[in-house]
Amino acid sequence: MDYVLQTNNLTKQYRDFKAVDNLQMQIKKGAIYGLVGRNGAGKTTLIRLLCGLQNPTNGTYTLYGRENTSPGIIEVRKRMGAVVESPSIYQELSAEDNIRMQYRVLGMPSFDGVNELLSLVGLESAGKKKAKNFSLGMRQRLGIAIALAGDPDFLILDEPANGLDPQGIIEIRELILKLNRQYQITVLISSHILDELSKLATHYGFVDSGRMIKEISAEDLEKACRKCMLLTVTDTKILARVLDRLQLQYTILSDEQANVFGEANITELTLALAKEGCKINAVHERDESLESYYVALIGGGRCE
């Protein structure tokens, strides 16, 4: 199995606080890896470690099989591109000049490919426009173009859809999928928009308090997600009593609605409720969402 990234007990400590705590992680070549966790879980600190912006307190990581303590890690890191926290953009420069500036930083011999990058991220008609006049979505796409300037095959994106309107979120999603599928770029994407992440990721890593709680493929996650029925009834107190007797898992949402998990026999449930004087008014079947799986895994709280 080819891995772009592997970590081994990776730790980052600030005095008595461990932002990253003995974290184990591995990203397969060609994956879109969704890094999931609430604010303060350690996602951005982890990304900064992987990008070489900070040094670990303990533990190691390898990029393409090269350990971070190896002298050759600098060369290997050239295969990475990243947008960390917010795009690094010169507001007074045009989109073209921002990319040219990155070419200079990377020591690239010519500016060939600037227009191709702008076209790739959908900014071909805005190359001469100053970045300060860009919308948030356009700035995000320019940031990704700058990250792609060195022709990387591993792209790290920290909250790329944060603050975007629905159309901007769709554009970023389509761009990430294009980079992965057409250009075979492996992507690590940190996001708190779990519904959006579920449309992208092939693999997930769930992080809490600096620790990796679970890694799972999208395929296995789909199998693990429980079936769920949203029931609308006349009395959820009666419903809860009947569900307890039938040994079914559930979550009460209101006086009239509840989620019932697992393979419930709706006929048996309807008859049992009728004997108690409770009526089912509506049933909607659905699969457990990534968000509800996350909440169940972490043990409460929201991913924000």
What does 144-182 look like in DSSP terms, one character per residue? HHHHTTT--SEEEEESTTTT--HHHHHHHHHHHHHHHHH
Domain 226-287 falls in which CATH fold?
Answer: Alpha-Beta Plaits (3.30.70)
Q: What is the pLDDT of residues 29-77, one digit of tens each?
A: 999 999 999 888 999 999 999 999 999 999 999 999 999 999 889 899 9
Total-model pTM:
0.80
| Whole-angstrom distance, CA of residue 95 vs CA of residue 108 | 18
Residue given tokens 């449930």 in the structure block: 269
CA distance 285 to 240: 18
For range 128-136, the mean pLDDT: 94
User: Would you list the domain boundaries of the chain?
Assistant: 3-222, 226-287
pLDDT band at 301 (very low <50, low <70, confident <90, very high): very low
CA-based angle 61:64:68, to the nearest 5?
Answer: 30
Strand ranges in the chain using DSSP code E only, listed in sequence order: 3-14, 17-28, 32-36, 58-63, 66-67, 80-83, 154-158, 186-190, 203-208, 211-217, 227-233, 250-252, 257-261, 280-287
The set of residues, in sequence order, having a beta carbon less than 8 Å from that of 125 and lying 6+ positions away, is none
Stretch 176-188: mean pLDDT: 97
CA distance 244 to 238: 10
Distance CA 116, CA 182 (A): 15
Q: Among 8, 98, 126, 118, which Cα is nearest to 61's?
A: 8
Computed on alpha carbons and rounded to an integer, the radius of gyration of the chain in Å comes to: 23
Q: Which CATH number fits domain 3-222: 3.10.20.600, 3.40.50.300, 3.40.50.1010, 3.40.50.2300?
A: 3.40.50.300
Amino acid at 219: E
pLDDT digits (tens, 9 = 90+) for 222-247: 877 777 889 999 999 999 999 999 98
> Which two three-digit tokens encode residue 292?
């509800």
